[in-house]
Amino acid sequence: MLLSSIHLFAVRKPHTVGLGAVKRVPHSTIGDPADASARGAAATENDLKIRPIVVDGQLKEWTTGEAHDITDRSFAIRRVLHLNDTLPTDAREHWVWQRGSWIVVDRTSGRVTALHLPDYDPSVSEIIWFRDYAAYCGLPSAGKSLYAVVAQVGARRPILAKKISSWSIDDHPSPACAASAWQREPLRVSFNPTGAAQVSFDLIGLSAVLVEEGDIAEPEQP
């Protein structure tokens, strides 16, 4: 049994994980929640830049935007969905591209994991990453309050969720917030809701909770 285990360990092949070439696809701002500024306006036709995640030569997901390296072996990137937009009365199929939530990709194991970000709403939430923390303005399901949210990859609950303003679906600014700003020492994040004063929070006593399974790479020699 010991020899069999050693043999299986020896022949295990590393996974090949990478992002493919950029592809442009037709995209309409109407129907994509990430284009909140298009609400009530005419549709704007443009191209959406997407890239595939390829694991061992097989396409796993389509993505858009820049990747964020969480560690030296895992990264976060935004998923893009190809949705069936066909109505029952349509004579032909109609498909649309839509920006979705975020995923984490492990370069060693090839595993792709969906991130469940609390109160994340693509119509108002723009994530600014630092380490394994995602800072963004969130919108709870009631849709009446705008929250400052910091989610940590691997944690079940947000490490920060504070109301920063009231919210009305019928009368709201776009964008809801300017980009958040991070500071390393002390660890601090600042939120910039549109039409309101900046609000900052210190994050104390935090450590990484992301668990990366599989082989551990040897550290590089100085």
Looking at residue 160, what is its pLDDT?
Answer: 92
**25 and 101 together in one domain:** yes
Question: Between these two residues, 174 and 21, which has the higher pLDDT value?
Answer: 21
Q: Does 8 fall in a domain?
A: no
Amino acid identity, position 157: R
Q: Does 140 fall in a domain?
A: yes
Q: Does 218 fall in a domain?
A: no
Number of domains in the chain: 2
Looking at residue 154, what is its pLDDT?
Answer: 87
**107 and 125 together in one domain:** no
Q: Does 41 fall in a domain?
A: yes
Domain range enclosing 73? 15-115
Q: Does 216 fall in a domain?
A: no
Q: What are 218's two structure tokens?
A: 């040897």
**22 and 108 together in one domain:** yes
Looking at residues 10-14, what average pLDDT do you find?
A: 61
**Is pLDDT at 113 greater than 80 in this prediction?**
yes
Q: Does 214 fall in a domain?
A: no
**Is pLDDT at 176 greater than 50 in this prediction?**
yes
Q: Three-class SS of residue 5?
A: helix
Looking at residues 168-196, what average pLDDT do you find?
A: 88
Residue 203, CA distances (Å) to 31, 70, 133, 206, 210 in order:
36, 18, 11, 7, 17
Please give the model's pTM, rounded to 2 decimal places: 0.81
Q: Does 84 fall in a domain?
A: yes
